[in-house]
């Protein structure tokens, strides 16, 4: 039942896009997608290298020049390492070169903030970053990580710049906007999911994402691409004037990653 409800919501959303003013999609003003799950077979994203090539072609057609893949690292669920991620990156790069797809493909990770991640920091393990020592982190959607502030502090003391993935999706902050302000005061960077602005994840998340965007609290925007439904919904949304009206005159820094 849950799956059918999600599909019905997706169809309604697509129908609403058709009623809106549409434009030719052009994400070249961003240039870089810094959050995606396009590497084949290592997390809950794409499963085959053939899918990777197909999705990269589609994203390139939208205007992206560089794609930074960020597989999950979550103990007991997605037990990725620097080695497993780099191996999948090598496979994807070779396939893209063979297919002559002119996109720069890089990889970092999306680290779950938990005790295991804190241990990695304390043990000074190699961590996957992008840009100028940026590191993408996330929390459970159920509750704030109990070691969130400690992890942020330790990362910053080690010279990293933590980027909180999709803060608009943490429902436990929606009733307490001061938490967002506190994190920004601690120099945490925020990454917005494109589909949050579309209503894909629900009206409340759309509302919060628009508020954070209007306040200039986002630093980056990403697709968080996992599967075909994400791709179709993203293509539909970035073909609407609404998307460009929402993000115009914002201070997003994706271009700095080129």
- Domain 2-257, CATH 3.20.20.140 — does that match? yes
Q: State whether the Cα torsion 132-211-183-152 is positive or negative.
A: negative
Q: What is the pLDDT of residue 11?
A: 62
Are 23 and 235 spatial neighbours (Cβ–Cβ below 8 Å)? no
pLDDT tens column, 207-230: 999 999 999 999 999 999 999 999
User: Which residue from 197, 224, 201, 200 is spatially nearest to 213, judged by alpha carbons?
Assistant: 197
Q: How many CA atoms lie within 13 A of 117 on its CB side?
A: 29
Q: What would the two tokens of residue 90 be? A: 């090598």
pLDDT band at 10 (very low <50, low <70, confident <90, very high): low
Q: What would the two tokens of residue 43 be? A: 């997390």
Q: Mean per-residue pLDDT for 149-154? A: 98
Where does 111-163 have alpha helices with state H?
115-122, 148-157
pLDDT tens column, 29-79: 999 999 999 999 999 999 999 999 999 999 999 999 999 999 999 999 999
pTM of structure: 0.92
Domains of the chain: which residue ranges?
2-257
């Amino acid at each position: 039942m849950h799956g059918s409800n999600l599909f019905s919501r997706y169809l309604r959303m697509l129908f609403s896009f058709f009623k809106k003013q549409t434009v030719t999609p052009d994400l070249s003003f961003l240039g870089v997608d810094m959050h995606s799950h396009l590497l084949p077979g290592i997390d809950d994203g794409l499963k085959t290298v053939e899918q990777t090539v197909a999705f990269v072609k589609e994203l390139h057609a939208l205007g992206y020049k560089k794609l930074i893949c960020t597989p999950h690292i979550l103990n007991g669920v997605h037990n990725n390492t620097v080695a497993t991620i780099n191996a999948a990156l090598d496979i994807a790069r070779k396939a893209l070169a063979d297919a002559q797809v002119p996109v720069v493909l890089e990889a970092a990770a999306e680290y779950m903030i938990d005790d295991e991640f804190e241990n990695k920091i304390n043990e000074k393990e190699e961590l996957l970053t992008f840009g100028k020592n940026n590191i993408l982190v996330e929390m459970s959607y159920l509750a704030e990580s109990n070691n969130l502030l400690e992890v942020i502090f330790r990362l910053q003391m080690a010279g990293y710049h933590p980027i909180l993935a999709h803060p608009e999706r943490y429902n436990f902050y929606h009733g307490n906007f001061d938490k967002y302000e506190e994190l920004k005061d601690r120099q945490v960077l925020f990454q917005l999911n494109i589909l949050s602005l579309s209503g894909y994840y629900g009206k409340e998340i759309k509302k919060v994402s628009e508020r954070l965007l209007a306040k200039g609290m986002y630093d980056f925007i990403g697709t968080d691409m996992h599967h075909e439904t994400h791709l179709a919904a993203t293509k539909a949304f970035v073909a609407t004037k609404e998307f460009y009206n929402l993000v115009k005159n914002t201070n997003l820094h994706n271009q700095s990653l080129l």
